[in-house]
Each structure stands twice: as C-alpha cells, then as structure tokens.
Amino acid sequence: MPYVDGFVVAVPKKKLKAYAKLSKMAGKVWREHARWIIASGSPTTSSRAS
C-alpha cells in the first residue's frame, strides 16, 4: 500500500472557498514534485516498502 500523509485543518466557513483554491493548487505542485522524485531515481522512493 502506498504511503499517504493526512491532515485535518479547521477552516472558517467564510474562507472555505479560498482554502479550496489553495489546496487544489498545492495538490498540483505536490504531484509534479512526486513525479520529479520518481523520475530522478531518488533513493527516498526505494526506501519505502510498497
């Protein structure tokens, strides 16, 4: 099973739309970063059990 971090964040209702926008952008950055790590053959990717 792949490793996944999870977070719980309290967000005021009036700022929920801004948080959703920020989290979508961050998700794209994290996925691109993960692709770069995997493509580079970083030892961090092979040290985790599948």
Domain ranges of the chain: 13-46
Q: Tell me the C-alpha distance between 27 and 3, whole Å.
A: 16
Is residue 49 within 8 Å of 1, Cβ to Cβ? no
At 26, which amino acid appears? A
Per the listing, tokens 């739309």 go with: 17
pTM surpassing 0.85? no
Tokens at residue 34, please?
């993960």
What is the per-residue pLDDT for 24? 93
Please list the pLDDT of the chain residue by residue as tens digits (50 residues): 677 777 888 999 999 999 999 999 998 988 888 887 778 776 655 555 44
So what's the pLDDT on residue 43?
Answer: 62
The two tokens of residue 43 are: 């030892």
